Structure 1
Amino acid sequence: MSDPEHSTQPLLGASNQQTAVNIGAPAQGPRSSRAYKVAGLTLLACVLIVSQVAIAYFLLSQKSDIKSLQDQNDKISTELTRGRSASVPLRMHMPMSAMTELLDDSMEEEASTGSPGKTSDLLTTCQMELAGLKPVQVPGFRPSCDKNGLYEHQQCFVEQCWCVNPADGEMIPGSLRQGRAFCSASTFSDN
């Protein structure tokens, strides 16, 4: 069992000599860098495979939830496409504070007597526009009225304000501002 050529040579080197082996230092040469590249690519491939398996697991575990969401979506779609016999009336938003300025005791008494049209005769143009009884030039805009039913000096809509003539609500040219417009009494006496 012994090989005659190698029988005189020690297995790990000379037995009388002490050799130091530095295990922590990387081996030099192209073989070690190639080994690192192969190990890195192998590790990357393993991470990608594990992430794909995790995604597949989560999708399968959420399958019942996805099915119930699809069923709800189908139910909502059939309800929306199904015709309705009665339409729902739209309600116009009007703050309650504006209602107290529009109505007084005399208007309530005339409305209760059943004479139609009397209440709109008692309202000013500003009050009718505020109540939505008269159309305005800008959709969605409702003017501000004072206690006498005249237009407030300053009108605002969507963060823009301007000055108006209190009698007819006409905008004063050049008064449109982003934010608060400073309207003074002298502005109205010039017109």
Structure 2
Amino acid sequence: MSDPQDGPLLLAPSVTASTGSSNKQALKVTALTLLATLLIAGQAFTTYMLFNQKERLSTLESHSVRLEELGRRASVMRSPMKMALPMNSLPLLMDEAVPEKKAPSTPAPKKELTPCQQEAAGLVHVPLRSYKPSCDENGDYEAQQCWQAANKCWCVDKSGAMLRDSMVDGPADCGKAKEVGALE
């Protein structure tokens, strides 16, 4: 009998029933043919899509080149743009940006200033920017202290120590804290 590789690929049904190897060979050929057909169809579809999109691709390429050119020109001809600042930080910036002009004063009689008065006059550094404490007529800290730039208020004792859990948005109720005995 002849070698299965030398014979024809497809045999008559009576012959294929007797030999199983020719049936396998026919399946292999069919699979390879189907695969080749799919690959050729895929390449044809890709080529078709590229030709349809050729105009758009060339337009995108020309826009890209134009943007690169404009970018190079802009960086050479212009100075950097100013960034916009949020309005809620404006009061904080204004305190540092505008130096206070101190008017020449006549020598006043020397009087010892309390710590509150020193902080309010700007003679002592205060950790909060643009915050000036409120002092009473004796020079002690008032019960309620407020930082207007942040709209925060809190209660303090006469020495200026903040009372625990008293910071709120807006005015603080320090009279209530006094009634509870948190002050003094």
TM-score with structure 2 setting the length: 0.44
TM-score with structure 1 setting the length: 0.43
Q: Name whichever structure is richer in helix by fraction.
A: 2
